[in-house]
Amino acid sequence: MAVYLVSVFLLLTQCQASPFDYPPPTNSSLAEALQIEVGEINNTSQQLLFSTPPPPGTIRRTPQTIIIGVRKGGTRALLEMLDIHPNIAVAATEVHFFDWDENYIKGIEWYRSLMPYSFENQITIEKTPGYFTSLQAPERIHSMNSSIKLLLILRDPTERVISDYTQVYYNRLENHKPVQPFEGIVIKNGALNTKYKAIQRSLYDVHMERWLKYFNLNQIHIVDGNTLIKTPLTELQKVERFLNLPPRIVSSNFYFNQTKGFFCIRSDGKERCLHESKGRPHPVVNETVLEQLYSYFREHNHRFYQMVNQSFDWH
């Protein structure tokens, strides 16, 4: 009886420490995590308490790969699509370990406790888009694992700003807060408001410079977010090669959903699209404002292309 009580106590404390402990994240728990990410479920510990224990032979490992960003680049799509691969185990939530001091001080064991259970032949991946623009993340990740492989998904910087704005716009609407038109935020006193956080996040050269102080370029694979939208398989095959994984993701893992206007995932006999908060229509932006954004980013983009020896189809 005492043993039974101790086991129940241990199970309870484990579940409270991390509501995602049981079961190891699967596609359905990823979908659930996405709902949590957008604030639809607050506490799943009760339903997880009675779920199955982890498969024998699995343990939690710190990630061998991290998707470091960029916010609104397509990070969720990339993670969910990589989760198709049998040799990949993905963390269900955005952990914010390396960019939030209040989490970082909890230590590496706390971080590891949030990773999925994985087999020895699996690569653990977590994604926290805020890492890319964080001042501390590069050094902290380097001190955990200096030979880690990083994935960075980027899209046209102007599109990214509009996507960032759209996300905040809908969040404010949901919270009954006032909203402003895009142009009202981006233009101040007739000039581009370069202090706007969403614009600063799109200065890829500025952020990349910090990462290259700690990591070799060949440790960072850049995924083209615009291509991931149009032809996901092309980008995922490149990631498989970068991670030295056998090619397992195939064209039948994707199908185009006309209603959503995006590719959705077919895996393990199930079909699923990303949450409705991903791929929302953007506002129509005034042409002059668009031109101002394109021209502001142009120089930064060129500097970025030189830094990474690669160019992209951005404005």
Q: Would you tell me which residues interact with ligand A3P (CB under 6 A)?
A: 71-77, 129, 163, 166, 228-229, 262-263, 274, 278-280
- Known binding-site residue numbers: 72-76, 155, 163, 278-282
CB of 208 to ligand A3P, least distance (A): 17
Give Cα 54 distance to the centre of its chain: 24
The SS3 assignment for 136 reads coil
Give min distance, CB of 173 to ligand A3P, in A: 15
CA separation for the pair 124, 119 (Å, rounded): 9
Query: Which residues are marked as active site?
Result: 72
Q: How far is CA 35 from CA 25, 38, 46, 273, in A?
A: 14, 5, 16, 13
- Our CB check for ligand A3P shows the closer of 221 and 278 to be 278
- DSSP per-residue string spanning 221-263: EEEEHHHHHH-HHHHHHHHHHHTT------GGGEEEETTTTEE
Toward ligand A3P, which CB reaches closer, 30 or 274? 274
Binding site as annotated, residues for 3'-phosphoadenylyl sulfate: 72-76, 155, 163, 278-282
Asked whether the beta carbons of 44 and 32 are under 8 A apart, the reply is yes
Q: What's the min distance (Å) between Cβ of 70 and ligand A3P?
A: 7
Tell me the closest approach of the beta carbon of residue 58 to ligand A3P, in angstroms: 27
Select from 25, 89, 33 the least CA-distant residue to 62.
89
CB count within 10 Å of CB 152 equals 25
Q: β-strand 270-272 against 59-60: which pairing, if any?
A: unpaired
Q: Which residue has the tokens 């309870």?
A: 12
Minimum Å gap between C-beta 181 and ligand A3P is 17
How far is residue 312's CA from residue 251's CA, in Å, rounded to a whole number?
24
Q: Which of 204, 179, 169, 173 is nearest to 73 (CA)?
A: 204
Residues 6+ away with beta carbon under 8 Å from 51: 22, 23
